[in-house]
Amino acid sequence: MDADQPDIAGFLAAWDPVVAGLAAAAQGNTQAARAVGRYLSSYRRSDDWAGLAGALSQILQNADRPAPAGDFDVIDAVVLRRAADAAAGRSPVPPELWPAMPLGPVLGVITDAARGHNPVGAQQAIDDLASEPTFAPLAPALSEILAGNHDPGLASALDNPTFRAVIACILDHAGTDREA
């Protein structure tokens, strides 16, 4: 990765559940479309993400059109390109990932930690998930990733297909240098 470019892997991991939802919506999954719409509307007043959320909403409404043009930073532009490609069926984002939209920020934090950034914040996020019965089964695999285990086989120990997709997403982004 170029020293002048931001490390966008964590941002891609954080937004990949939305990207998966856009792809599922484009294939006719109305439950995914509603979930993506609600999730994006929660960013309407965000100083950092309102523009991206608005552009992703445009993709949700018009999946067959190219990504919206605008004055986007590097991170937004890469996420938008990935989203437009996924909605058009040109990106292999696992469809099972879209229900993990509420976990997107956690995916980003853990991906960043797996790449050597802020492991303390990631451990806190994992501890928070472990205390929630719904997400507790995911915590041991995430802890393994944080400890340096990047074996894709970590996902196979999980019964939930969304949780397996979460692990695959983090490992995919943690293990590659992505450039804008």
pLDDT digits (tens, 9 = 90+) for 83-130: 999 998 888 899 899 999 999 999 999 999 999 888 888 999 999 999
Q: Are residues 19 and 90 in the same domain?
A: yes
If one counts the domains in the chain, the total is 2
Position 1 in a domain: no
The pTM of this model reads 0.90
Position 5 in a domain: no
Position 18 in a domain: yes
Q: Are residues 65 and 126 in the same domain?
A: no
Q: Are residues 23 and 63 in the same domain?
A: yes
What is the structure's pLDDT at 44? 87
Please, what is the angle between helix 9-26 and helix 104-114, to 10°? 140
Last residue of some domain: 94, 128, 149? Answer: 94
Give the residue carrying structure tokens 């450039």: 179
How far apart are alpha carbons 65 and 63 in whole angstroms? 6
**What six digits make up the tokens of 127?**
């501890």
Last residue of some domain: 79, 94, 109? Answer: 94
How far apart are alpha carbons 87 and 82 in whole angstroms? 9
**Burial (0-12, 13-18, 19+ Cβ within 10 Å), 64:** exposed
What is the structure's pLDDT at 3? 47
What is the structure's pLDDT at 7? 84
What is the structure's pLDDT at 163? 97
What is the structure's pLDDT at 178? 42
Are 21 and 39 spatial neighbours (Cβ–Cβ below 8 Å)?
A: yes
Residue numbers of the chain with a pLDDT score lower than 50: 1-4, 177-180
Q: Are residues 75 and 118 in the same domain?
A: no
How far apart are alpha carbons 62 and 25 in whole angstroms? 10
Give the range of the structural domain holding residue 117, as residue numbers without chain letter.
98-174
Q: Are residues 102 and 170 in the same domain?
A: yes
Backbone angles phi, psi at 149, to 5 degrees: -80, 110
Last residue of some domain: 78, 94, 110? Answer: 94
Distance of CA 38 to the CA centre of its chain: 16
How far apart are alpha carbons 81 and 66 in whole angstroms? 9
Position 159 in a domain: yes
